[in-house]
Structure 1
């Protein structure tokens, strides 16, 4: 997909980052040398950047894969080009913003998301479902639930397990076979 916010979708699917966290992400939160990004603030209502994430554990550091880091670097280059072409640019250091540098509003983001789904002919899903896709893929690949919890910034592993335990493959078979071994 060739879209100016392509990296937004990559981060949502590969890192399970919430919409408000993505829209509050700043370039200063990204460490390309160590392939890490920090979730330290969110975009709140009325396009205000709010320090801190949803919960205490939502403030977190996420390791980026080389692919994710590469997509962010491309996005940064594209954003630098937009800055040079803009008549007026308000540099808020945001990774994902309007073409003039200002934060995206929640209402405009929703309209943007609906247009993307219609244009790509993808069935109607919530943007948050990309986060669920991330968790589902990781758990199906047998990544330990604790690691998934840390990536998603859930307050406890209970939240992760209550939400996704049905996706952990062969859980019932493993339980049955373990009991037979005694």
Structure 2
């Protein structure tokens, strides 16, 4: 959740992150693709579809400004079982029917929301919010830190500033 709150990436952008996109030496994450679950109309199953971000401005480098998050991401990247493969997905998914981490599966926002986000809100006695609202948290934090509005807009990947 902290990654989402501090990087303001959309769920599909998080799901599409590859190991190569997390450049911790430079202190940023590169948004170059998205992942989306598409349910097939002709069948009961769906599939993950990878594509480009929603607009030209959505492809961007987003700084990681929180030192603690940067340190935690470095540790996570060092422990990643496929850290030497730049094409590997950065965030793991879960094995269906369990909470077991699976780096060969795509991170799924619906599973995250159901199993982690909503229970964390309840535990913290916070009101129900959407996962997407964490993008607003990041924007608010940046604006409160007096980053220029046009820069915040670019980091959010808005089509226009």
**Range class of TM-score, shorter chain:** 0.7 to 0.9
> Who wins on radius of gyration, i.e. which is larger?
1
* Correspondence for 1:61: 61
What do the CA deviations read for 1:46-65 (whole angstroms, capped 9, x no partner)?
45241211211111112223
* Residue pair 1:45, 1:106 contacting (<8 A) in 2 also: no
TM-score normalised by structure 2 residue count: 0.75
In 2, Cα distance between equivalents of 1:104 and 1:64: 20
Indicate the structure whose relative CO is greater, using CA pairs within 8 Å and at least 6 residues apart. 2
Tell me, yes or no, if structure 1 residue 76 matches structure 2 residue 77: yes
Over the aligned positions, Cα root-mean-square deviation in angstroms equals 2.3
Measured in 2, the distance between the counterparts of 1:78 and 1:124 equals 32
Note if 1:27 corresponds to 2:19: yes
* 2:128 alignment partner, SS class: coil
Q: Which runs of 4+ in 1 moved over 6 A?
A: none
Paired with 2:88 and 2:133, the residues of 1 have a C-alpha distance of 27
Q: Are 1:100 and 2:92 counterparts?
A: no
Q: Which residue of 2 aligns with 1:164?
A: none
* Structure 2 residues not aligned, in runs of 5+: 39-46, 94-100
Name the structure with the higher strand share.
Answer: 2
| C-alpha deviation, 1:43, in angstroms | 1.8
The equivalent of 1:139 in structure 2 is 143
Gaps of at least 5 residues in structure 1 are: 1-8, 84-91, 158-182
- Aligned-residue offset at 1:108: 1.6
Count of residue correspondences:
140
**Higher relative helix content:** 1
